[in-house]
Structure 1
C-alpha cells in the first residue's frame, strides 16, 4: 500500500517507519540503486535526517535524504494479501518493462505455494506469472471494488455504487454517470442521504472551472437535471 508521502515529507526521516519499502523512479548507479529494486527501511536517524536501507540481497546502504533520491522515492507499507484461485486482482503500480499498468485487472488462475508463484490471466488473455517474493510483483491488490475514475472504459453485468453525500470532492455528475453506465443489465446506487446527494449532483457538473470566473460553478442544463433525476428514480434511491 502506498504511503502517499508529499515531496516535503519524503525529504524528512521522521516521515518513514521501520519496515517501509522504498522504490525509486530512476537509477542511481553511483549508489548501486536500481529503479527495479526494493529497499527496506531498517534504521532511522531523525537528527541527521538519514535512513539505513537494505536491498533484497541483504546489502545495506546509507540514504542521506537531502542529498539524493527523495524527489524520486515511492514509499510503500507491506500488507498481507491472501490469494485464492478465482480471485480478482489488479496491479497497483506502473511497470513499463513488464507491460503493467496501475489498475490493470486480472484473475488468479493458479497458485504454486511451494514455489511462491501465482498465475494471473489479464483481460487481454495474457498470462502473467507472479513471484510472490519478488518486490516487483508485490504491487498487487484485490479488485472487487474500484473508484469511478478507475472504472472508466470497463463494462460488467451489474454495478453496485456507493455515493456518500458528504464526499463533495468525489460526488459530481461526471463520476455519477461513469459509475452507473458501466453496467449491461443493472445499476444499483447506495447513498446515506438521497435528497442531499441529488442537490450535490445538480450543483457539481465535474467539468473544469472556467478561467474567467473560477469561483462560479458551472450549472447543468435543464435536460441534464432531468436525466439525473430519472436515473435516481429508476434505480430506486
Structure 2
C-alpha cells in the first residue's frame, strides 16, 4: 500500500544509511496505495530479484484454503465454488443479513468472528445494523450521545488539485500555513465549489470566507498538510465498540485501534482502550470527532489483519470496489471459515472477473503511449535487415534474473 513518495523516502533513507540490502515484502495482487504510484509492482516488472512465497499458512480449513488459492490466481469462479453454501445471495439486504448472522453468534463466538465490508458505505450499513440489534436486545446501556464525526475523504495529491473533488459541507484541515492560498493553520468548511473556475469557497471558524484555488497547489508536498473530511452524524451508546480515526499520542489513543464505550452521560464519554486504560472525554474533546463504530471493517482497514472466522459483505453494484484486489483481501483474512453475503453471486463473479482493480502507473502509461507511437510510425516502413535489435542492458535483461527459493 506504499505510494511513490513514501517509497522514495524509504529508498533514500536506505542509501543514506548505506545499507547492504533493502527488502520489500508484500502482495501486488492485494490493495495498493491510495496515493499515486505502485512501486512494489513496478520494481518487480523491472526485473528486481524476487522470491515468491506461495505457501498458505493462514487458512486451516480445507475449503477456505482452496478458495484463497483460487482467488490468488484470479480464478473467481473457482473461489466462489469452493466457498459453496457459504456464499449467501441476499439482494439489497446483504448488510442487514450479515449483521444478523454476527448477532446470532454467542458472545464468545463474536469475539473471534470479524465482519469485513468491501467499502465504506457497506461498512456503515453493517455497523448501524449491528448497533440497532444490540440496542434492541438490551446489550447496550441507556446512556447515549449524538456526535458529528469527521470521516476522511481519501484523495490523491492530484485529486486535491481539482475543485470537483470538493463538495459543500466538507471540512478542510490545514496543518501548516499556506501563504500562497492565504490559509492559516486550522479548520475550514467548504461553502461552495466552482469547477469551471477551479475555485472553492472556504469559511473559517470566525465566519470569514476565503477563495481557495486548489489548482495552484504544487503536485508534491501540500497533501501532507491538507486533509479533507466529510462531517456525518453518529450516535454512540454505553457498550458500543469503536475505533479511532486519528491519533492522540499523549493519551495512547491510536488511529485504527479499537476501544469500548464504558459510560455516556450529559457531560462526558468514558472509554476503555484496547490496553484496558480508561479515559474520560469531555464534550469538547477533539477525539469525539475522531471515532467510528468498529463492528465492521472495510477491506483497506482489514489488509494485514487475521481472524479465526469471518463474515464478509460485497455488492456487485459497487463498480470500483467489486474487483479482484478487494475480493482477495476480503477472503484471505480468515483461518477457519468465511460466510460471504452478496447481492447476487453471479453478478458479483462477473463484476470481479472483469475488474482486476490494478491501477496503471505513470511509467506504464508512458510505455503504452510510446509503443502506440512506435507502432504508428512503423506502419508502411520497409524493414532494414542490417538493423539488428539492440540487447537490453544486463540489469534489465529478465532472462538472467534467477529465481531463488527460501524456506524454514
TM range (shorter): 0.5 to 0.7
Bigger Rg over Cα: 2
Q: TM-score, length-normalised on structure 1?
A: 0.61
Aligned to 1:53: 203
C-alpha distance in 1 between matches for 2:286 and 2:252: 16
Q: Runs of 5+ in structure 2 lacking a partner?
A: 1-150, 317-321, 357-395, 399-408
Aligned to 2:56: none
Task: Tell me by how many angstroms 1:54 deviates.
Answer: 1.3
Aligned to 2:256: 103
RMSD between aligned residues = 3.8
Aligned length: 188
1:36-90 CA-partner distances (Å, limit 9, x unpaired): x4322235455362432213xx253524434569533211111110100001111
| Aligned 1:109-188 pairs, distance under 5 A | 109-113=262-266, 115=267, 117-147=268-298, 150-151=301-302, 152-153=304-305, 159-162=310-313, 167-172=323-328, 176-178=331-333, 180-181=334-335, 187-188=337-338
| Aligned 1:31-70 pairs, distance under 5 A | 33-34=184-185, 37-44=186-193, 47=197, 49-55=199-205, 58=206, 60=208, 62=210, 63-67=212-216
Task: Tell me by how many angstroms 1:9 deviates.
Answer: 3.0
Aligned to 1:208: none
Higher helix share: 2
C-alpha distance in 1 between matches for 2:194 and 2:315: 42
C-alpha distance in 2 between matches for 1:212 and 1:139: 50
C-alpha distance in 2 between matches for 1:27 and 1:177: 40
Aligned to 1:229: none
Q: Runs of 5+ in structure 1 lacking a partner?
A: 205-210, 214-237
Secondary structure of the residue aligned to 1:137 is helix
- Using CA pairs under 8 Å that are at least 6 residues apart, name the structure with larger relative contact order, 1 or 2: 2
Q: TM-score, length-normalised on structure 2?
A: 0.38
C-alpha distance in 2 between matches for 1:42 and 1:162: 35
C-alpha distance in 2 between matches for 1:163 and 1:29: 41
Task: Tell me by how many angstroms 1:164 deviates.
Answer: 6.6
C-alpha distance in 1 between matches for 2:397 and 2:254: 36
